Amino acid sequence: MNLSLIDYGTGNLFSVRRALEVCGANIKVIHHPSEAKNSDRLVVPGVGAFGSCITELHRLHFNEAIAEHIATGRPFLGICVGMQMLMTTSYEFGQHSGLNLIPGIVTEIPNRTDAGEVRKRPHIGWTSLSESQPWTKTMLSQTTKDDRFYFVHSFSVIPDNPAHILATTDYDGYEIVAAVKRDNILGTQFHPEKSGPAGLTILKQFLSL
Protein backbone atom coordinates (compact mmCIF):
# COMPACT_ATOMS: atom_id res chain seq x y z
CA MET A 1 0.00 0.00 0.00
CA ASN A 2 1.67 3.21 -1.21
CA LEU A 3 0.00 6.38 -0.01
CA SER A 4 1.02 9.86 -1.12
CA LEU A 5 0.39 12.83 1.16
CA ILE A 6 0.45 16.11 -0.76
CA ASP A 7 2.61 18.88 0.69
CA TYR A 8 1.50 22.16 -0.86
CA GLY A 9 2.87 24.42 1.85
CA THR A 10 -0.12 24.31 4.15
CA GLY A 11 -2.04 21.69 6.07
CA ASN A 12 -1.57 19.48 9.07
CA LEU A 13 1.07 17.23 7.55
CA PHE A 14 2.82 15.87 10.64
CA SER A 15 -0.24 14.65 12.52
CA VAL A 16 -1.91 13.28 9.37
CA ARG A 17 1.27 11.42 8.42
CA ARG A 18 1.70 10.03 11.92
CA ALA A 19 -1.91 8.83 12.09
CA LEU A 20 -1.68 7.09 8.70
CA GLU A 21 1.60 5.44 9.70
CA VAL A 22 -0.05 4.10 12.86
CA CYS A 23 -2.72 2.62 10.57
CA GLY A 24 -0.04 0.77 8.61
CA ALA A 25 0.33 2.89 5.48
CA ASN A 26 3.61 3.36 3.64
CA ILE A 27 3.65 7.17 3.45
CA LYS A 28 5.39 9.33 0.90
CA VAL A 29 5.11 13.09 1.36
CA ILE A 30 5.18 14.49 -2.16
CA HIS A 31 6.22 17.95 -3.30
CA HIS A 32 5.78 17.60 -7.06
CA PRO A 33 2.74 16.41 -9.07
CA SER A 34 4.72 13.74 -10.92
CA GLU A 35 5.32 11.93 -7.63
CA ALA A 36 1.61 11.09 -7.36
CA LYS A 37 1.47 8.92 -10.47
CA ASN A 38 1.97 5.50 -8.87
CA SER A 39 0.11 6.12 -5.62
CA ASP A 40 -2.46 3.61 -4.43
CA ARG A 41 -4.05 6.32 -2.29
CA LEU A 42 -3.82 10.12 -2.37
CA VAL A 43 -4.52 12.38 0.62
CA VAL A 44 -4.81 16.17 0.75
CA PRO A 45 -4.92 17.73 4.23
CA GLY A 46 -5.85 21.35 4.77
CA VAL A 47 -5.66 23.96 7.49
CA GLY A 48 -6.28 27.66 6.90
CA ALA A 49 -8.24 29.79 4.46
CA PHE A 50 -9.69 28.29 1.29
CA GLY A 51 -8.27 31.03 -0.97
CA SER A 52 -4.65 30.62 0.02
CA CYS A 53 -4.89 26.81 -0.03
CA ILE A 54 -6.41 26.56 -3.51
CA THR A 55 -3.94 29.14 -4.84
CA GLU A 56 -0.98 27.07 -3.69
CA LEU A 57 -2.53 23.85 -4.98
CA HIS A 58 -2.86 25.40 -8.46
CA ARG A 59 0.53 27.11 -8.37
CA LEU A 60 2.20 23.76 -7.76
CA HIS A 61 -0.07 22.03 -10.34
CA PHE A 62 -1.35 19.53 -7.80
CA ASN A 63 -4.88 20.15 -9.10
CA GLU A 64 -3.87 18.26 -12.25
CA ALA A 65 -2.32 15.40 -10.27
CA ILE A 66 -5.48 15.07 -8.16
CA ALA A 67 -7.72 14.91 -11.25
CA GLU A 68 -5.45 12.32 -12.88
CA HIS A 69 -5.38 10.17 -9.74
CA ILE A 70 -9.16 10.26 -9.35
CA ALA A 71 -9.63 9.34 -13.04
CA THR A 72 -7.81 6.05 -12.37
CA GLY A 73 -10.48 5.04 -9.84
CA ARG A 74 -8.04 4.88 -6.93
CA PRO A 75 -9.24 6.29 -3.58
CA PHE A 76 -8.72 9.96 -2.76
CA LEU A 77 -9.25 11.65 0.63
CA GLY A 78 -9.48 15.35 1.39
CA ILE A 79 -9.40 16.47 5.04
CA CYS A 80 -10.99 19.72 6.31
CA VAL A 81 -10.04 22.40 3.74
CA GLY A 82 -8.80 19.50 1.64
CA MET A 83 -12.44 18.43 1.42
CA GLN A 84 -13.74 21.94 0.89
CA MET A 85 -11.49 22.40 -2.15
CA LEU A 86 -13.38 19.58 -3.87
CA MET A 87 -16.37 21.89 -4.24
CA THR A 88 -17.13 24.26 -7.13
CA THR A 89 -17.06 27.60 -5.30
CA SER A 90 -16.10 28.93 -1.89
CA TYR A 91 -17.37 32.18 -0.38
CA GLU A 92 -14.74 32.40 2.33
CA PHE A 93 -13.27 35.94 2.29
CA GLY A 94 -14.46 36.56 -1.26
CA GLN A 95 -15.34 34.14 -4.03
CA HIS A 96 -12.91 31.42 -5.08
CA SER A 97 -13.15 28.59 -7.58
CA GLY A 98 -12.58 25.09 -6.24
CA LEU A 99 -11.68 21.88 -8.03
CA ASN A 100 -15.33 21.17 -8.95
CA LEU A 101 -14.89 17.45 -8.36
CA ILE A 102 -18.01 17.43 -6.22
CA PRO A 103 -20.38 20.19 -7.41
CA GLY A 104 -21.35 22.45 -4.54
CA ILE A 105 -20.39 25.46 -2.46
CA VAL A 106 -18.47 26.34 0.69
CA THR A 107 -20.35 28.83 2.83
CA GLU A 108 -20.13 30.35 6.28
CA ILE A 109 -21.85 28.68 9.21
CA PRO A 110 -24.73 31.02 10.20
CA ASN A 111 -23.92 33.14 13.26
CA ARG A 112 -27.50 32.97 14.52
CA THR A 113 -29.76 30.06 15.35
CA ASP A 114 -33.33 29.86 14.04
CA ALA A 115 -34.37 31.33 17.41
CA GLY A 116 -32.09 34.33 16.87
CA GLU A 117 -29.52 33.31 19.47
CA VAL A 118 -25.80 33.72 18.82
CA ARG A 119 -24.10 30.64 17.38
CA LYS A 120 -20.40 30.59 18.22
CA ARG A 121 -17.88 30.43 15.41
CA PRO A 122 -15.69 28.69 14.68
CA HIS A 123 -17.32 25.38 15.36
CA ILE A 124 -14.78 23.73 17.65
CA GLY A 125 -15.30 20.49 19.48
CA TRP A 126 -16.21 16.82 19.42
CA THR A 127 -19.49 15.67 17.89
CA SER A 128 -21.02 12.45 16.62
CA LEU A 129 -22.06 11.71 13.04
CA SER A 130 -25.41 10.89 11.46
CA GLU A 131 -25.84 8.64 8.44
CA SER A 132 -26.95 10.41 5.25
CA GLN A 133 -26.58 7.29 3.11
CA PRO A 134 -25.61 3.73 4.06
CA TRP A 135 -22.06 3.56 5.42
CA THR A 136 -21.61 -0.06 4.41
CA LYS A 137 -18.49 -0.52 2.26
CA THR A 138 -17.37 3.08 2.92
CA MET A 139 -14.64 4.47 5.19
CA LEU A 140 -17.37 4.93 7.85
CA SER A 141 -18.42 1.28 7.83
CA GLN A 142 -17.01 0.73 11.35
CA THR A 143 -18.23 4.06 12.77
CA THR A 144 -20.98 4.05 15.40
CA LYS A 145 -23.43 6.67 16.61
CA ASP A 146 -21.45 6.93 19.86
CA ASP A 147 -18.15 7.82 18.17
CA ARG A 148 -17.18 11.47 18.33
CA PHE A 149 -14.90 13.42 16.00
CA TYR A 150 -12.94 16.64 16.26
CA PHE A 151 -14.10 19.66 14.24
CA VAL A 152 -12.60 23.14 13.93
CA HIS A 153 -14.03 25.33 11.15
CA SER A 154 -16.19 28.36 10.38
CA PHE A 155 -17.20 27.36 6.83
CA SER A 156 -18.87 24.19 5.63
CA VAL A 157 -19.76 22.52 2.34
CA ILE A 158 -23.16 22.16 0.71
CA PRO A 159 -23.01 19.68 -2.19
CA ASP A 160 -25.50 20.24 -5.01
CA ASN A 161 -26.44 16.57 -4.96
CA PRO A 162 -27.56 15.22 -1.56
CA ALA A 163 -26.40 11.77 -2.72
CA HIS A 164 -22.82 13.01 -2.29
CA ILE A 165 -23.35 13.60 1.44
CA LEU A 166 -22.06 10.63 3.43
CA ALA A 167 -22.54 11.99 6.96
CA THR A 168 -23.70 15.08 8.82
CA THR A 169 -23.34 16.47 12.31
CA ASP A 170 -25.48 18.86 14.29
CA TYR A 171 -23.95 22.09 15.51
CA ASP A 172 -26.31 24.08 17.68
CA GLY A 173 -29.28 23.23 15.47
CA TYR A 174 -27.44 23.65 12.15
CA GLU A 175 -26.75 20.61 10.00
CA ILE A 176 -23.12 20.47 8.90
CA VAL A 177 -21.91 18.14 6.16
CA ALA A 178 -19.28 16.08 7.97
CA ALA A 179 -18.24 13.70 5.18
CA VAL A 180 -18.74 13.45 1.43
CA LYS A 181 -18.40 10.68 -1.13
CA ARG A 182 -18.59 10.63 -4.90
CA ASP A 183 -17.38 7.34 -6.34
CA ASN A 184 -13.70 7.10 -5.25
CA ILE A 185 -13.61 10.70 -3.96
CA LEU A 186 -13.91 11.01 -0.17
CA GLY A 187 -13.72 13.92 2.21
CA THR A 188 -14.10 14.72 5.90
CA GLN A 189 -14.76 18.11 7.46
CA PHE A 190 -13.56 16.76 10.80
CA HIS A 191 -9.96 15.77 11.48
CA PRO A 192 -9.70 11.97 11.72
CA GLU A 193 -6.02 12.32 12.64
CA LYS A 194 -7.04 14.27 15.75
CA SER A 195 -10.07 12.15 16.64
CA GLY A 196 -8.45 9.37 18.65
CA PRO A 197 -9.29 5.69 18.07
CA ALA A 198 -12.50 6.49 16.16
CA GLY A 199 -10.55 8.64 13.71
CA LEU A 200 -7.88 5.98 13.26
CA THR A 201 -10.60 3.45 12.50
CA ILE A 202 -11.83 5.64 9.64
CA LEU A 203 -8.31 6.00 8.24
CA LYS A 204 -7.83 2.23 8.44
CA GLN A 205 -11.06 1.75 6.51
CA PHE A 206 -9.88 4.24 3.89
CA LEU A 207 -6.71 2.20 3.45
CA SER A 208 -8.72 -0.99 3.04
CA LEU A 209 -11.11 0.32 0.37
Render pLDDT for 56-108 as a digit per residue (tens, 0 to 9).
999 999 999 999 999 999 999 999 999 999 999 999 999 999 999 999 999 99
pLDDT given for residue 9 in this prediction: 87
Q: Tell whether the model's pLDDT for residue 1 goes beyond 80.
A: no
List the one residue out of 77, 12, 78, 13 whose CA is nearest residue 48: 12
**Catalytic (active site) residue 80:** yes
Tell me which of 23, 53, 69, 80 is the catalytic residue.
Answer: 80
Please give the model's pTM, rounded to 2 decimal places. Answer: 0.96
Listed in sequence order, the residues at least 6 apart from 201 whose beta carbon sits closer than 8 Å to its beta carbon are: 142, 143, 147
**Catalytic (active site) residue 31:** no
Q: Report the share of the chain in percent with pLDDT over 90.
A: 94
Report which DSSP code applies to 162. G
Tell me which of 23, 69, 96, 193 is the catalytic residue.
Answer: 193
Q: Which residues pair with 28 in a beta bridge?
A: 4
Q: Tell whether the model's pLDDT for residue 42 goes beyond 90.
A: yes
Tell me which of 69, 96, 164, 191 is the catalytic residue.
Answer: 191
Pairwise CA distance, residues 124 & 140, whole Å: 21
**Catalytic (active site) residue 164:** no
pLDDT given for residue 55 in this prediction: 96
The domains located in the chain, with CATH, are 2-208 (3.40.50.880)
Q: Tell whether the model's pLDDT for residue 11 goes beyond 80.
A: no
